[in-house]
Amino acid sequence: MATLREVKNRIKSVHSTKRITKAMEMVAAAKLRRAQQRVEEARPYSEKLDLMLSHLATASTEDISHPYFEERNTKKKTLVVVTSDRGLCGSYNANVLRKASEWLETNAEYEVEIVTVGKKCNDFFKSRKWSIVDNFSDWSGVINYDKVHDMVKLLTERFLNKDTDEIQIIYTQFISTVKYKIVSPRYLPIAKPEVDEEAGFNMDYIFEPNPESIYDSILPNYATSKMIMAVAEAIASEHGSRMMAMGNATTNAEEMVDTLTLEYNKARQAQITKELLEVVAGAEALKT
């Protein structure tokens, strides 16, 4: 059985850990609010671009043609995996990496290259057999638009130069503070917008100078918007996971303190009882 001093030191240690986890929970909560605001600001823009492409496809009398829409005989794929730079966020990174491993097993028939986003992802894949094209890390928990543009430039150039035939992204879609969903949408080629025949009767668009020029202007922004949205949602999901993990750790520390305090009181009471018995036994021995 642990001595009183050992139990007391353990209580002090758990108290220190609790203060750290509580502080990390509060920091994550503050960062989550800002990240959630960025997601909410970016979503309408992304959805509007989707709607605009659909309207253009509906109003166009010609077949849609653009390099970003080019469907090829797929031989090589590029997988972009988005994780965090730091840990202490529960099962967030493990779930994303598990999804990526499942995707790689499913696509084992293709030649696959990986673009890693975040240190955790890069550390996981750098010792494995797949080739890492590039790594984008050191985000500091906030979206860096320069890095996003560098990512978009790298991916679009590889697709247009036919260094890869298809690009997919695995990231966490932010749903709420306590919930996220791992998704793996195709990034390139972009799926051609669906034509809404009924909506077409209510549209009267005039293309100036021509549909190709309009798509040349819109689609690069569309690709950038989709990547910004993916990174923003992943960062928000990371902060939500870290806030929940640190909250659970704080609760566990409180429960451990209660348990150790009870153990300390029991040990202290047992020691006092033992000393009283020794005093009484000594007093009785003096009487005889």
Catalytic residue among 14, 32, 56, 89: 89
Give 186's strand partners: 168
Residue 63 has pLDDT above 70, yes or no: no
Q: How confident is the model at residue 276 (pLDDT cuts 50, 70, 90)?
A: confident
Q: How many domains does the chain have?
A: 1
Per the document, the length of the chain is 288
Whole-number Å distance between alpha carbons of 138 and 60: 43
| pLDDT for 200 | 46
| pLDDT for 201 | 45
Q: Which of 48-57, 73-82, 260-269 tops mean pLDDT?
A: 73-82
**Structural domain includes residue 281:** no
| Closest to 174 in 3D by CA, of 128, 240, 233 | 233
Query: Which DSSP category does 191 fall into?
Result: P
Mean pLDDT (whole number) for 228-253: 93
- Collapsing DSSP to helix, strand or coil, 151 comes out as helix
Whole-number Å distance between alpha carbons of 98 and 62: 43
Q: How confident is the model at residue 140 (pLDDT cuts 50, 70, 90)?
A: confident
**Structural domain includes residue 266:** no
- What global pTM score does this model have? 0.83
- Interval 103-125: pLDDT, tens: 999 999 999 999 999 999 999 99
**Structural domain includes residue 166:** yes
| pLDDT for 60 | 60
**Structural domain includes residue 254:** no
Q: What's the CATH code of the domain at 228? A: 3.40.1380.10
Indicate the pairing of strand 179-183 with strand 131-136.
unpaired
Whole-number Å distance between alpha carbons of 189 and 77: 11
- Interval 176-198: pLDDT, tens: 888 899 999 999 988 876 655 55
> Are the CB atoms for 213 and 44 separated by under 8 Å?
no
More confident residue, 276 or 196: 276
Query: Which DSSP category does 144 fall into?
Result: -
Domain region containing 218 = 31-243
> Are the CB atoms for 174 and 43 separated by under 8 Å?
no
Q: Please give the structure tokens belonging to residue 166.
A: 């298809």
| pLDDT for 95 | 95
Q: Is 89 a catalytic residue?
A: yes
